[in-house]
Amino acid sequence: MRQDNPDADMEVEEYDPVPEIVRAHFEEAMKFARRSVSDNDIRKYEMFAQTLQQSRGFGGNFRFPGSTGGGQGQNQGGGSGGQFEEGDDDLYS
């Protein structure tokens, strides 16, 4: 196309052999995947996960100094939707 009209400012669409990644692509890739985590590493992770599960209650009723209220229904995880005191900056808006 450019050879026919070199002054034209056209976009040339390139052929994409895989325009969309689908489940079959992952299944094909997994046929050739090999294990990269040792049994020892899995045991370490399981022990770590068990330790975290046992200490899960730690910090559940944490409050910043000067904060008020605090029932089961309030956001305690520090995520979005919290209330800010006057003068506090919301870093996520």
pLDDT tens string 36-82: 999 999 999 999 998 888 877 665 667 788 877 655 444 444 444 55
Is 32 domain-assigned?
yes
Is 28 domain-assigned?
yes
CA distance 35 to 39: 10
- Number of domains composing the chain: 1
Q: Which residue has the higher pLDDT, 19 or 58?
A: 19
Is 35 domain-assigned?
yes
Is 6 domain-assigned?
no
CA distance 15 to 1: 15
User: 47 in helix, strand or coil?
Assistant: helix
State which residues form the domain around 33.
Answer: 23-49
Which class for 88: exposed (0-12), middle (13-18), buried (19 or more C-beta within 10 A)? exposed
